[in-house]
Structure 1
Amino acid sequence: MTVFTESPLRPDRQEHVDHVPLGLSRSSETVYRAMLGSPRFRLSELAECLGYDVERLAEVVEELRLEGMVADSADESEAVRAVEPCLALRALAARRLCATRGIDPVPRPEAVERLINLREQRRSEREFESAGLDELAAVVERLVAHADREVVMLVPESERTSCEFSRLIPEWASRRGLTVRSVWRADVIRSAARRAHGAWLGRQGFEVRVVRSVPLRAVLVDDAVAVLGDDEEVRVLRGTRQVTEVRRIAAELWNSASPVRSGSTSDRGAEVAGSRHATVLRLLAEGLTDDGIARRTGVSVRTVRNDVASAMSRLDSRSRFQAGVRAARLGLF
């Protein structure tokens, strides 16, 4: 097992996070780094590797799950997997940075970059499998982390799913100003949990449609890359002809499908605020003054100053410009 850590693994009851580079408690960071060493783990296996008791480990894993760092395995019952750090840590940073309450630390850009680079190195060395729904999720998470415009998901079933019903991807997309469109097979909506997820997506401003049959499991990113997968193979298509065919299928399904009603009005206020924070940080990096940022964002100078002060504090920056640069390194805009 590859362990993504720079220090010995040991249980640590001290949960001080003020100086933890990834913004996690020491035990949470230890567990997350260890989980990156394998496509999935049962808790008993992971506890044996780390020397934790299973009950204590379950608590830490649940903390990581709440932060969007861990997800259930789609390939093995009662197993869990680490969400790709290029998405999980950047989403965590965005959430912490834009939070109006709480003092949880924002992950440090240099620590995030080191772990992402190490992860990419390990994947390039083919230490990971190339089949299964967990691998499909990993590939999609890495692509979505760098998406610029749109994510389209084709969902052929409800029981065994990859990342189609994750909230992390839509939350990240919303903060980045991306569009998310989903086409589900009609019987997926019979599940109360799936209906609730569809309603939640609608409240975020993302549309879900249902159609009688969806012939393939696929995710399109920016109309440029298509990821297809099942139990036996995960394929990443980048060639124009192949991607065009998947786009054609997706367009035909979308145009023939029926919208799923969200059941309530949009509640994207927090996401709009998060988008404003990202815009403020981008303009800081460009060197704009408070007055200039206020004019560009349509808010008061006082609001801009509050946003800037909060960003400088949470990003541990000595200047406005440094705050913008650090936010850029985290991929927040």
Structure 2
Amino acid sequence: MQHIPVLLNEVIKSLNIEKNGIYIDGTFGNGGHTKEILKYLSSNGRVLGFDRDPLAFKSGKKINDSRLLLFNDVFSNILKYTTQLNLNKKINGMILDLGLSSFQIKNSKRGFSFQKNGPLDMRMNPLLGFSLSQKLNFLKEEKLSKILKNFGNEKYAKKIAFLIKKYQKKKPILTTFELVKIIKQAVPLKYPFKNPATRTFLALRIYINQELKELKKILNISLKILKPGAILAIISFNSSEDRIIKNFFKKNSSIIKVPMGLPITETELKKRSKKKIENFKKIKPTKKEINTNKKSRSAILRFAKIL
């Protein structure tokens, strides 16, 4: 089973790799971006790879390269490791690919796919916390509806939430196909090429893994660990992620205006009014890539230079 990294050439070009540089792959996955970055590094260069999925970590350990350091942890904990390694403000670039890997999607035991029947889990790290099946038992209908609406932009959020809770009065939802069957009762099949469960599965995956909270944390951390001139590159696959990234780039690439008369020191004023990033850009996959790799069709790469 071949995994094709999305926007690989564009990521490498945007990172503008220095041969002796230190880079972070915050979402190691199957190592596609990491392996490509390593090709451009000298023996003095390094890549720090992070992934919360223990299977991705185990797979990555098979890469025999002394320039690669791997960590089985969420990327919101990256600051802990860069501090321990005395690497803060010494990192030349960071890539985050926020999509699922092909191996996660196609492994029916993980519960990510609405096209394969398996345990309703969806945890990036199946060794920690509660599965989605367990979590659904504790979620109230109103809260569930908000999750589907806010994280998945699901138009039929209320109806889906109602039917899920109605079903659970008889028995717990244990498998992906059980959940899909419930969703199909609530969502009219307007588009034959799009599964009605798409938005619900996205929303619940984001919720169970706290993905948007993780993203907000790592964006703020990036300003503490990346050196001036470093590149932060992020690939998102849904509007919720992209909105957070876009707003972060906009906020930190403009000068903050401080109202007159505020009791603030000159040093603090300079600190607050200073831009932190510049030259942020957006790239979408070409038609050729989309035809080769269907997963890339919703991908957006945003990257910026740290000041």
**What's the TM-score once normalised by structure 1's chain length?**
0.29
